Amino acid sequence: MSKDLRHEKNCLNCGHEVPERFCTHCGQENTPAHEPFSHLLKHFVADVVHYDSKFHTSITYLLFRPGRLTKEYLAGKRVSYIHPIRLYIFVSFVFFFTAFAINKHEEVEEEKTTEHAILQTATDTLSHVLKGVQLDSEGGKPGTSAADYARRITHTTLDSTFASRSDSTGWEQFHSVAAYDSAQKTLPDSLRDGRGERWLYRRLIYLRHKYNNANYQEIFMEMIQHDGPKVMFLLLPLFALLMKAMYNWKRWFYADHAIFSIHVHSFWFILFLVVLILGRVFNTDAFNGWGWMLGFFYLMAAMRNTYSQGWGKSFIKASVISVAYCCSVLIVFLLFLLLAFAVIL
């Protein structure tokens, strides 16, 4: 018997008899309650190496062998691979975290660029005015002092520049729902917003105040960032349902299509994360089209390899599913936004 095992034959976890190293009832190893540090370290290294091996094998099959990971899992070979839901949660978390971190960085850079442009405009105007005042002085023309004139012109330039950014009409000029309601009451019935407009504007004003006066695009991005992963997770059963409609065979269960759906979505997250990073590095949107094409061909290849049909049938079914799924995603996100707005106020 190994030195790190207990001499007693009762399991410390469930109390059943342990004939050898592991309990046949609960699977716990029959080691002492107070383990030495070397034993803890050995288990830690074994678990890390084992997980890394599972992760490497799973990612390799997922990226470069479409459908292989699904076939292995459905064949019962599951110990060597990461569980599909764990894989999806990990990949989707990395995607959404990285995507919104990149978008946030781009917004900050755009704000800095805009502020720099405003400052440069004011500086150029000031230099031009000072030059003009100096010429007038040399010509003996009386006029306002250079400092006062430059200050007045510069303020005018800055006011006009910021006006193009801060001027707002309609609901955007109100900083609270109460102020909007009060303004509506002072207007005649013919000039008041309609019922649907009031419903929408009151919620937009509330969200602007909640998100520090952000515009509606930033509000929607914040909402999608917060609830987008949940919505995408709910779309997995819908995709599996479309797959079941395409392959309604007795030997295929709905759970089998769900596993296929999880693996395909995991690949799509990785693919579009790479597309997003490449677009950010090279400052171009040219990779988006290639990403959509590669995502479609991956789906077609995965369907062919998993369901063992020819390229022609796989192409037709992948096309139908892609169109139906894209329409479904748009409808679901629209319903999600309407539902999110409905519960506000």
User: In angstroms, rounded to a whole number, what is the distance separating the alpha carbons of residues 330 and 335?
Assistant: 9
Q: Are residues 196 and 231 in the same domain?
A: no
For residue 58, tell me if it sits in a domain: no
For residue 265, tell me if it sits in a domain: yes
Q: Are residues 185 and 277 in the same domain?
A: no
Last residue within a domain, chosen from 185, 213, 241: 213
Residue with tokens 């309604």: 248
- Quick check: 50 pLDDT over 80? no
For residue 189, tell me if it sits in a domain: yes
| H helix runs in 167-285, sequence order | 177-186, 195-210, 216-246, 254-282
Q: Are residues 205 and 258 in the same domain?
A: no
Q: Are residues 191 and 327 in the same domain?
A: no
Last residue within a domain, chosen from 188, 213, 238: 213
The whole-model pTM stands at 0.66
For residue 111, tell me if it sits in a domain: no
Other beta carbons within 10 angstroms of residue 291's beta carbon come to 18
For residue 44, tell me if it sits in a domain: no
Look at 66-80, 124-138, 317-331 and tell me which has the smallest mean pLDDT: 124-138
For residue 70, tell me if it sits in a domain: no
Q: Are residues 329 and 189 in the same domain?
A: no
Q: Are residues 337 and 232 in the same domain?
A: yes
Q: How confident is residue 147, by pLDDT bands cut at 50, 70 and 90?
A: low
Q: How confident is residue 345, by pLDDT bands cut at 50, 70 and 90?
A: low
Q: Please, are residues 336 and 231 in contact by the beta-carbon 8 Å criterion?
A: yes
Amino acid, single-letter form, for residue 214:
A
Strand partners, 29: 22
User: In angstroms, rounded to a whole number, what is the distance separating the alpha carbons of residues 108 and 229?
Assistant: 24
194 vs 152 pLDDT, higher one: 194
Domain of 25, in residue numbers: 1-31
Residue with tokens 């193009």: 164
Q: Are residues 340 and 231 in the same domain?
A: yes
The SS3 of residue 284 is coil
Residue with tokens 């009386």: 142
For residue 109, tell me if it sits in a domain: no
Q: Are residues 208 and 274 in the same domain?
A: no
Q: Which of 88, 41, 39 lies closest to 62, judged by CA?
A: 88
Q: Are residues 184 and 327 in the same domain?
A: no
Per-residue confidence (pLDDT) for residue 117, from 0 to 100: 57
Q: How many domains does the chain have?
A: 3
Residues 6+ apart with CB under 8 A from 150: 126, 129, 130, 133
Q: Are residues 178 and 322 in the same domain?
A: no
Q: Are residues 235 and 207 in the same domain?
A: no
| H helix runs in 65-145, sequence order | 68-74, 84-138
Which H/E stretch holds residue 317? Answer: helix 311-342
Q: Which of 89, 158, 95 lies closest to 126, judged by CA?
A: 158
- Each residue of 29-44: pLDDT tens digit? 888 877 677 766 776 6
Q: Are residues 180 and 98 in the same domain?
A: no
Per-residue confidence (pLDDT) for residue 64, from 0 to 100: 95
User: In angstroms, rounded to a whole number, what is the distance separating the alpha carbons of residues 246 and 269?
Assistant: 23
230 vs 273 pLDDT, higher one: 273
- Each residue of 236-249: pLDDT tens digit? 999 999 999 999 88
Per-residue confidence (pLDDT) for residue 278, from 0 to 100: 93
Last residue within a domain, chosen from 150, 182, 213: 213
For residue 75, tell me if it sits in a domain: no
